[in-house]
A = this chain, B = another copy of it.
């Protein structure tokens, strides 16, 4: 709350609400959407690259010719037509032989994660997740009152030894994790990809430990250099829940995602979704079905890949040319994000107000950890802005960092916030999805 309104409901909220607070950062993001600000903060695809006239005509047909079904209620699991097409899309990534019967259509990838959390998590349950990880997953896990134990990554993704160590630590504490949440390919926010060899090791470790895996794969088809390694679900059927979305390959405004779940679980997921949203939008599903049926969607993915590769290159060049010494960053082979590590002593969260004043926005690393770490990092998006704008954003950011470093050289450690370094869930340190 902003503090301007007294909250008379405080003593009535469920326990899960008590940890939910907004932060001063969230208010800053509202400013970040102003046109004069170069926002590297969001995660929006570049929708203007779609053939919008043709899409419009397709939507016309869907409403005028098929309105009696497309504007009506549908079934909780999603239409059979779309579920069959989803199986074809997954086959492109190497997941073959999946049954449409085991696919549950969801309101974007976000609802997929939320349904799985509701299915498996009681308050206090432990979940393993990469550190850093998707801010929306942290929101889900916080609402589920789960404990997040982060597992470290390096350039080749999740570190198997760190996963083993986490499991050992939990076992020694008499705890057991319910599942591993992972984005193995073009990870958000880190921009790294779990190597082929590590995929097998991670799966072996999970299998031995009886640990379920939730594989989140929104970016797998957005590879810039050859195909991405095959998904985890393509390697193991049992115990792997595969989630993805049409938000990055077609359009996020329709909110259509899915889960591919082991058969035994599917019906419970459907009932959980019915209790949540009754049914996914028949119109949105029809739009995706028509898009996949009548339009060159695989060609469109190539268009996205080329645009994003060019922008990634522009961002990486700008970082190389303009960033102060001591700054490092990942070199993503696909997806939407670069993860940067600031020179020693800089604090991405404390720096945000000054960055906004300098008309550039990013997401502080704290948004991607459940434990308040990440002040030394920030996430930069390259999918939404044109190359020259990305460079301008980096130029502005670099200027802010140089100033911070200069202040630090004069006054010592720049931030009085270091005492607050560890605090509760920091999901509110990230913007909504719209602020690209």
Contacts and interface: CB of A to CB of B under 8 A. Distances in A.
Contacts of A120: 12-14
Contacts of A143: 118, 272, 275-276
A268 B17 contact: yes
Nearest to A45: B72
Contacts of A262: 8-9
A276 B67 contact: no
A277 B110 contact: yes
B75 A1 contact: no
Interface stretch (A185-193, A279-287, A320-328): A279-287
Given A139-B274, A271-B428, A275-B143, A64 B71 contact: no
A91 B33 CA distance: 31
A376 interface: no
A265 interface: yes
Interface stretch (A48-56, A148-156, A335-343, A407-415): A48-56
B278 A72 contact: no
A237 B282 CA distance: 35
Contacts of A139: 271, 274-275
Interface in A307-324: none
In this complex, the interface size class of chain A, counting residues with CB under 8 Å from chain B, is 35 or more
A68 interface: yes
A251 B348 CA distance: 45
A64 B56 contact: yes
Contacts of A76: 432
A7 B264 CA distance: 5
Contacts of A427: 275
Given A9-B262, A9-B264, A120-B12, A275 B55 contact: no
Contact of A55 (B64, B252, B278, B432): B64
A42 B75 CA distance: 12
Interface string A220-253: 0000000000000000001000000001000111
A350 interface: no
Interface in A249-270: 251-255, 262-265, 267-268
A6 B120 CA distance: 17
Contacts of A276: 110-111, 114, 140, 143, 276
**From A71, A139, A436, residue with most partner B Cβ within 10 Å:** A71
Interface in A32-47: 42-45, 47
Interface string A55-71: 11111111111011111
**From A5, A14, A73, A252, residue with most partner B Cβ within 10 Å:** A73
Contacts of A5: 263-264
A210 to B, nearest CB: 9
A43 B279 CA distance: 13
A159 B17 CA distance: 33
Interface in A121-179: 121-122, 125, 136, 139-140, 142-143, 178
Interface in A1-31: 1-2, 5-9, 12-17, 20, 22
A367 interface: no
B74 A434 contact: yes
A365 interface: no
B434 A73 contact: yes
A247 B277 CA distance: 12
A272 B275 CA distance: 15
Given A16-B122, A114-B276, A136-B278, 16 more contacts: A7-B264, A9-B212, A9-B265, A14-B121, A17-B272, A52-B64, A53-B64, A57-B64, A59-B60, A59-B62, A73-B252, A73-B432, A75-B432, A107-B107, A110-B274, A279-B433
Q: Which 5 A-B pairs have the closest CB atoms?
A: A56-B64, A60-B60, A56-B63, A139-B275, A71-B251
